[in-house]
Amino acid sequence: MPFDQTLVPWIIAAVLLVALIVVAVVLRARARRAVAAAKAAADEQARAAREQHEALAAAHDDALARTAAEHAHERDALGAERQAALTEAKQARDLVAAGLKWEATSRDDIADACRQLGVDAVLLTNVVFVPVATSASSRFVAQVDHVLLSETGVMVIENKGWNGIVFDGLAPSSVFPAFAGLFDESTMTPPFALQVVKDSPTVLTVRTHLGRDAPASQVRRQAQRLSDRVQAEVGARVWFDTCVFYSHRDATVFATERDATDGGAATAIVSHRSQLAGVVRELTSRPTKKLSQARVTDLAALFASYGADVLRFGAYAQEARVTSAASAREVPAQEVPAQEARVVPAAEASVESDASGESGESVASGGSGESVESTPDAPAPSAPDALRPDATA
């Protein structure tokens, strides 16, 4: 049967139509795959962005929590420091308010010696300060009875208002052989002090102060603390001589003239006010000056800022301005006696850190940065050497 030539166009058209259909199906499949791939990529990007956002949010929350915890810790620490400062200030105010009452007699005796000798000096009484070695968790204030400043030397004087019979550095049997059987002198290794008080017609009370509790050891520690405070405050090392003064009018004192049992410079022991002039003369008549007049003035202003009572003699009596614990106060020249000027600091005086100093012949080895320990003077009350919450008598 002959091939019908008229079918050729139709066959070609059918083939082309099939080809078009195949191409369309392939393109549509590719398009669907491309859309699916694009959607998968978009989903992946969205998931990654969501995870990143969640991670950032978690990190932000953690940072906020840490910051809040740090702020709470800082707030608690500042609160504790503020409370410690308030307690410290109250202790200082109590010492400043009450201390001068106990040291008034000894202050007047020292002042009389200065006037008698006509020295150029400054006497500061009841110096209250925070020792350098104080930790934040165990803060306390120290109290020095008297500081005598001059260009030829500076001295810390510890007042002991003990009555009765007092032995300082001398065994009772060396003074009264009959006392050999009354006391256990085997424990009395210098430095030591022994006080015998008649509490009633039939009762004698014996108080012993051995080692660190001995007055000579106490004053050397206090001088070292004050020396360290001065150095921390003004950056200069000043060495302090030391002295123990038994000031009670009814006391009978038997003592060595000097105690050097802790090593280093000796501590003068004054058993009666008549001996004060000799100690003051020795301090103020040395041939070599250790401090300038400006340094003495600066130290006097520093100690006055700690609430100390100030008496000025000789050349220093003419100074018009004295720094008190709260502010500088001017004293008119016409109100100042020729040989003495006195300033009583404001009652609200606050106590801050002191400075460190040492005196050429004084307490280099005797003191240490130990905690202040209060050894009350009995029976006559005396301002405590220091206050701290856990102090024991």
Query: Which of 95-99, 180-184, 330-334 comes out lowest in average pLDDT?
Result: 330-334
Highest mean pLDDT among 80-84, 151-155, 232-236, 334-338: 151-155
Report CA 338 to chain centroid distance, whole Å.
37
Name the CA dihedral angle for 237, 344, 386, 105, rounded to a multiple of 10 degrees: 110
Higher pLDDT, 209 or 94: 209
pLDDT confidence tier of residue 335, bands split at 50, 70 and 90: very low
pLDDT confidence tier of residue 287, bands split at 50, 70 and 90: very high
Mean pLDDT of the chain: 79
Averaged pLDDT for residues 49-74 = 91
pTM: 0.61
Quick one: pLDDT at residue 212?
A: 92
pLDDT confidence tier of residue 307, bands split at 50, 70 and 90: confident
Query: Per-residue pLDDT tens for 207-227?
Result: 999 999 999 999 999 999 999
Q: Are 149 and 140 in contact (CB under 8 A)?
A: no
Q: Are 239 and 364 in contact (CB under 8 A)?
A: yes
Q: 8-117 and 276-284 helices cross at what angle (nearest 10)?
A: 120
- Dihedrals φ, ψ of 117, to 5°? -85, -15
pLDDT above 90 covers what percent of the chain? 53
- Dihedrals φ, ψ of 227, to 5°? -60, -45
Query: Which of 127-141, 309-323, 379-393 comes out lowest in average pLDDT?
Result: 379-393
Q: Prior bond to 191 cis, omega within 30?
A: yes
pLDDT confidence tier of residue 238, bands split at 50, 70 and 90: very high
pLDDT value at 11 more than 90? no
**Over the Cα atoms of the chain, what is R_g?**
42
Q: How far apart are CA 33 and CA 36, in angstroms?
A: 5
pLDDT value at 343 more than 60? no
Higher pLDDT, 389 or 246: 246
Assign residue 190 a region (left: φ > 0; alpha: ψ between -120 and 50; beta: otherwise). beta
- Dihedrals φ, ψ of 102, to 5°? -80, -25
pLDDT value at 273 more than 60? yes
Higher pLDDT, 4 or 220: 220
Query: Per-residue pLDDT tens for 195-208?
Result: 999 888 889 899 99
First-to-last CA distance in the chain? 141
Averaged pLDDT for residues 88-104 = 65
pLDDT value at 353 more than 50? no
Q: Among candidates 239, 224, 222, 219, which has minimal Cα distance to 288? A: 239
Q: In what order do the strands lie in the sheet with 164-168?
A: 203-210, 192-200, 164-168, 251-255
Q: How far apart are CA 273 and CA 110, in angstroms?
A: 8
Higher pLDDT, 69 or 324: 69
Quick one: pLDDT at residue 182?
A: 85
Higher pLDDT, 390 or 319: 319
Q: Among candidates 178, 193, 323, which has minimal Cα distance to 251? A: 193
DSSP assignment string, 166-225: EEESS-HHHH-GGGGGTS-GGG-PSSEEEEEEEEETTEEEEEEEEGGGSHHHHHHHHHHH
Q: 215-234 and 293-304 helices cross at what angle (nearest 10)?
A: 100
Task: Considering only the C-alpha atoms of the chain, give the largest distance between any 2 of them, rounded to a whole number of Å.
Answer: 169
Q: Are 98 and 145 in contact (CB under 8 A)?
A: no
pLDDT above 70 covers what percent of the chain? 75
Q: How far apart are CA 203 and CA 65, in angstroms?
A: 68
